[in-house]
Structure 1
Amino acid sequence: MATIAARADAFMTKHFTRHSITWRQAMVIILPLIAENLTNNLFGTLNTGMISSSGEASLSAVSLVDTLNTFLFVFYTGIATGASVIVANYRGMGNPEKLHKACTQAVTAVVLFTLFTTVFIILFHVPLLKLLFGAAEQEIVDKARFYMLGGAISLPLLGITTAFCGVLRGIGEGKTALLYTVTSLLIYLGLNLVFLTGLKLGITGLLLSILLNRILNIPLLFGLLWIRKSAFRYKVKEFFHLDTSMLRRIMRVGIPCAVEQMFFVGGRVVTQSMLVALGTGAIVVYNISYSILTLNEALVTPVNTAMYTVAGMCIGDDRPEDVRDLTKSYLGLNTVLYWISLGLIMLLFKPLTIFYSASAENIPRIFQLVLITGIAHPLIHSLGFTLPTVFRATGDGIYTTVASLLVMWGLRIVGAYILGFVFGLGVLGVWCAMILDWLVRAGIFSIRFRGNKWLKHKKMTE
């Protein structure tokens, strides 16, 4: 047993340890993220299953608005990403004063953007729904409007907890963030069981669960910070003290990332609006398949998120060569994780379709889409999505954003229209356009990775 442990340690040290960060330090970041993401996906799956029992119209409305909501408030997640990179840089430099300032400014920036997003949704939800989903059945549009407004009201509360969890992961307190996430989701599940399964309130019940959960999350989070004696102390007065220099550094990384995410999700919104023309059945097939796709990415997404911190610490420590070595190792890890996930998805496919209340006629179509992405994931997905994460952490965000947007809108959107409607392939055509997007991204970023331009940017803490 000791020999196996020694060999495992030697392997991990060789491939995942460098001067800037050891493999054990990396696992402290990654493992809580994996547990958190698995929990999020599990509860997301349960949530979809519970709302699907309210009928296809309710499921379609929630799916459409969730995509649109993501587009509207995804900007602040990009800002949070920029903050995490700067936090990692200062952590790598060993500068506690700047580290604290970066953390406080991260919270302030994210909360301000969520407030802006709430106002934006309240003012413009009607024209947005008409523009994007006007062709949908009236029942779906009515439910979508109600769900969209209800969720927007409590968005600033979500901004507070999301920003704090991001900071906790950045300073090495991922276990506290994980404990918060698991507890919060258990509360959310309990509320959904009461309002959706027990009282059968449909979308109204879902909104009540969301609102009450976000309200309860605030005392839960601060209670955990106090109990676990967190090193991060955020004073309310710090919210009103804007450090323009620090915010500029955060925005330098966050803005390109946010713009890319907004256009990426915007592409999904456009795709959803295309599917509306194909009918409710097509929307259901696409969204159930996409939900299963997300499950297949449940182990890899946390690794990609952790790469912001891993690469950021290497750059802060002035060791760019470590970034390239570690990136190669994590690409290999992601490939293995994808094959494991695919095997599990195939074993659990039938129970999943039952849980999602998929009709018998839709199950073969869902399986076809899931199998296509399951094979594509380990072969090309990491190259197209892990590498951009590393590039952003080194300051190469503009190139990454421009390349990603050109490929997405040129292939995923235009390709979806050509394959799905011109060639009459329907949902399958829309899905294949997404895979084509992945393939071209993988090629572009692999070529970029082989060169050195992405490592020659000015340090983001300067």
Structure 2
Amino acid sequence: MASLRNNDTYSLYNLAWPIMLEMSLQFMIGTVDTIMVSRISDEAVAAVGICNQFFAALFVLFTMISGGAGILVAQKLGAGNELEARKAASLAFSFNVMIGIAVSLVVHFNTDLILTLMQVPPEIKPLAQQYLYIVGSGAIMMALLQVCSNIIRNTGNTKATMMIAIGMNLIHIVFNYVFIFGSFGFPELGMVGVGISTVLSRTLAALMLFIILLNSFSSRLTFAEFVRWNKKIVKEIAKIGVPLALGGGTYSITQLVIAAFIGTMGALELATRSYLSTVESFAFLFGMAIAMAVQIRTAHLYGSGKRKEAYSDVWKALKWGIVLVEVNTLILVILGKYILNWFTSDESIIALGVFLLIINIVLQPGKMMNMTMGNALNAVGQTRYVMITSIISMWLVSVGLAYVLGIVLEMGLLGVYIAMIVDEYLRGILVALRWRKGKGQMRDVPVPVSNGLSL
């Protein structure tokens, strides 16, 4: 553990603890958010839940699009090349802005079509339409949040993103109280209020993160840097980022397909999955923080030529991550019934939810292995391998098996969860074996390079 915890800005401990705190508070605030929405109705929670499946897919897409630049920033800073790190950061920001605007326009003009494709039940669709229209039209703010957060974290500054995320979520809760329930003289807007609250809080957070991004290097980023094209840096970002974006895009699509499967199962399954999406995040929040820190640290060590340390630290981080996610999952299993009672009084939803939380004891370690080892490979430029294995497994196993078990064999959500388990472990084992295979090439080098391994 000593090598993971020291005074280095890029130590796993110093990178991970702010992310852990950020995610813990986001979980608690997200729980309060869901409880507040549940005061409208269970249908409102289901509507927000299924829309959030769509937004979670967008979140992954925006994260992956900016991910290549984030990794390159960490590698360049590790190599002591701040100039090229700045170029990567500014190019990534500009590109994400364009993608964000495009997505906002698509959602704004195609809300009904999107919900129809997701097979949202008729009793939920009107509420979902209100929420998706408002929040989806503000997808540009999601894009800005992800690219700014990604780059800032990869400079080693995870504390700033933590503080902004905490502030954003607290403001969101206040706005919810004001707009949902009509407090302080405002009209009672219900589901529309939830959407307005989400967009306003994200807008404020995006502006703050942009200001921090401008000052994340030794001198302030200038407007000219955001519009200046650099062919060399674009190629380097593309080599890492295109496979990341394709993998992220595939994940987004497959999650929407699975959400459509769940939508056909009925309101009970849809509401249960919506509540579990919030509750299960507690099980993996520490694991997610470690996996994110692993990618930042590994990219920095790789860029600085300290490859032996990078190789061994990933395995240590994986062990600690599995322990943490299992402890969190066991806590959820023990307290699951009481936690779900905060959200709903429907005994059928609670019973199914508690059962699926038990399934998470098996699911979460596989998820931890997949994300940690995949992030490590991404950090050294092995994004193409991660993309190929992910795309094949997500379509054949996650989607294919979910359809066979959940729909054809009528196993419902249990079938979907079994497919998730098989998918996570298959991908986790494949990326872990790839990382182990590359041990011989992870020798320290005197001159840092940033174009990845050839495993």
TM-score over 0.5 (shorter chain)? yes
Q: Partner residue of 1:205? A: 193
Query: Which residue identity lines up with residue 410 of structure 1 in the other structure?
Result: L
CA 1:208 to 1:234, structure 2 compared with 1: closer, same or farther past 3 Å? same
Is contact 2:298–2:310 with CA below 8 Å preserved after alignment? Answer: yes
Aligned to 1:344: 331
Q: State the partner residue of 1:376.
A: 363
Residue pairs, 1:126-137, within 5 angstroms:
126-133=112-119, 136-137=120-121
Corresponding position of 2:21: 35
Kindly indicate whether the alpha-carbon contact (under 8 Å) linking 2:62 and 2:142 is maintained by their aligned counterparts in 1. no
Identify which of 316, 319, 325 aligns with 1:329: 316
Question: Which whole-Å CA distance do the structure 2 matches of 1:218 and 1:325 have between them?
Answer: 36
Superposed, which structure 2 residues align to 1:360-439 within 5 Å?
360-378=347-365, 380-439=366-425
SS of the residue corresponding to residue 451 of structure 1 reads helix
Residue 150 of structure 1 corresponds to 134
Q: What's the CA shift string for 1:158-179, capped at 9, x where partnerless? A: 4334322222222222222222
* 2:225 is aligned with 1:238: yes
Q: Do structure 1's residue 117 and structure 2's residue 107 form an aligned pair?
A: no
- The alpha carbon displacement at 1:127 in A equals 2.7
State the one-letter code of the partner of 1:211.
V
Q: Is the 8 A contact 1:188 1:213 kept in 2?
A: yes
Q: Using the TM superposition, name which of 183-192 and 120-129 deviates more.
A: 120-129
Give TM-score scaled by structure 1 length.
0.88
Whether the 8 Å CA contact 2:63–2:150 is kept in 1: the answer is: no
Give the direction of change, closer, same or farther, for the CA distance of 1:96–1:276 in structure 2 (3 Å limit): closer
Deviates more, 1:39-48 or 1:402-411: 39-48
Superposed displacement of residue 92, structure 1:
0.7
Q: What secondary structure is seen at the aligned counterpart in 2 of 1:365? A: helix
Name the aligned partner's letter for residue 56 of structure 2. T
C-alpha separation in 2, matches of 1:355 and 1:437: 31
User: Residues of 1 paired with 2:9 and 2:330: CA distance?
Assistant: 26
User: In the alignment, which of 277, 283, 289 is matched to residue 290 of structure 1?
Assistant: 277
CA distance in 1, matches of 2:134, 2:404: 36
* Pairwise CA distance, 1:442: 2.7
The structural deviation recorded for 1:375 is 3.6
User: Which of 56, 80, 89 is the equivalent residue of 2:75?
Assistant: 89
SS at match of 1:201: coil
| Residue 105 of structure 1, aligned match among 76, 80, 91 | 91
Amino-acid identity (%): 21
Q: Which amino acid aligns with 2:204?
A: L
User: For 1:225 and 1:420, how far apart are their aligned partners in 2?
Assistant: 44
Letter in 2 for 1:254: G
Shift of 1:120: 2.3
Counterpart CA distance in 1 for 2:295 and 2:334 is: 32
- Stretch of structure 1 that moved more, 175-184 or 21-30: 21-30
Aligned to 2:445: none
Q: Deviations over 1:334-390 (max 9, x none)?
A: 022113212332343233112211511221211111111124323x33222211111
Q: Is the 8 A contact 1:75 1:113 kept in 2?
A: no
TM-score, scaled to structure 2: 0.89
Structure 1 residue corresponding to 2:46, chosen from 53, 60, 81: 60
Q: Aligned residue for 1:303?
A: 290
In the TM superposition, 1:126-205 aligns within 5 A as: 126-133=112-119, 136-198=120-182, 200-205=188-193
Equivalent in 209, 217, 222 of residue 205 of structure 2: 217
**Amino acid in the other structure paired with 1:148:** L
Provide, for residues 233-275 of structure 1, a one-character-per-residue CA deviation record: whole Å limited to 9, x for no partner: 2333432223232122222222211221222232221111112
- 1:303 deviates by 1.0
Q: Distance in 1 between matches of 2:425 and 2:234?
A: 35
Letter paired with 1:308: Q
Q: Deviations over 1:148-196 (max 9, x none)?
A: 2211232223433432222222222222222222112111111112222
> Take 1:347 and 1:179, find their aligned partners in 2: how far apart are those partners?
31
Contact kept in structure 2, 1:16 and 1:326, CA below 8 Å = no
Query: Helix, strand or coil: the match of 1:298?
Result: helix
* Alignment check: 8 A CA contact 1:77 1:110 kept: no
Aligned-residue CA RMSD in angstroms? 2.7
In the superposition, relative to structure 1, how do residues 432 and 110 fare at CA in structure 2: closer, same or farther (>3 Å)? same
- Amino acid of the structure 2 residue aligned with 1:12: A
The Cα of 1:139 is off from its aligned counterpart by 3.8
SS at structure 1 position matched to 2:96: helix
Q: Which residue of 2 aligns with 1:5?
A: none
In structure 2, relative to structure 1, the CA distance for the partners of 1:84 and 1:283 (3 Å cut) is same
Are the aligned partners of 1:396 and 1:454 in contact in 2 as well (CA < 8 Å)? no
Do the aligned partners of residues 382 and 73 (structure 1) sit closer, same or farther apart at CA in structure 2, a change above 3 Å counting? closer
Structure 2: gaps (5+ residues): 443-447
Contact 1:73 1:114 in 2 (8 A): no
- How far apart, CA to CA, are the structure 2 residues paired with 1:104 and 1:455? 32
- Write out per-residue CA displacement over residues 271-305 of structure 1, whole angstroms, 9 at most, x where no aligned residue: 11112221111101122223222210011101111
Would you say 1:12 and 2:11 are equivalent positions? Answer: no
Q: Which amino acid aligns with 1:203?
A: M
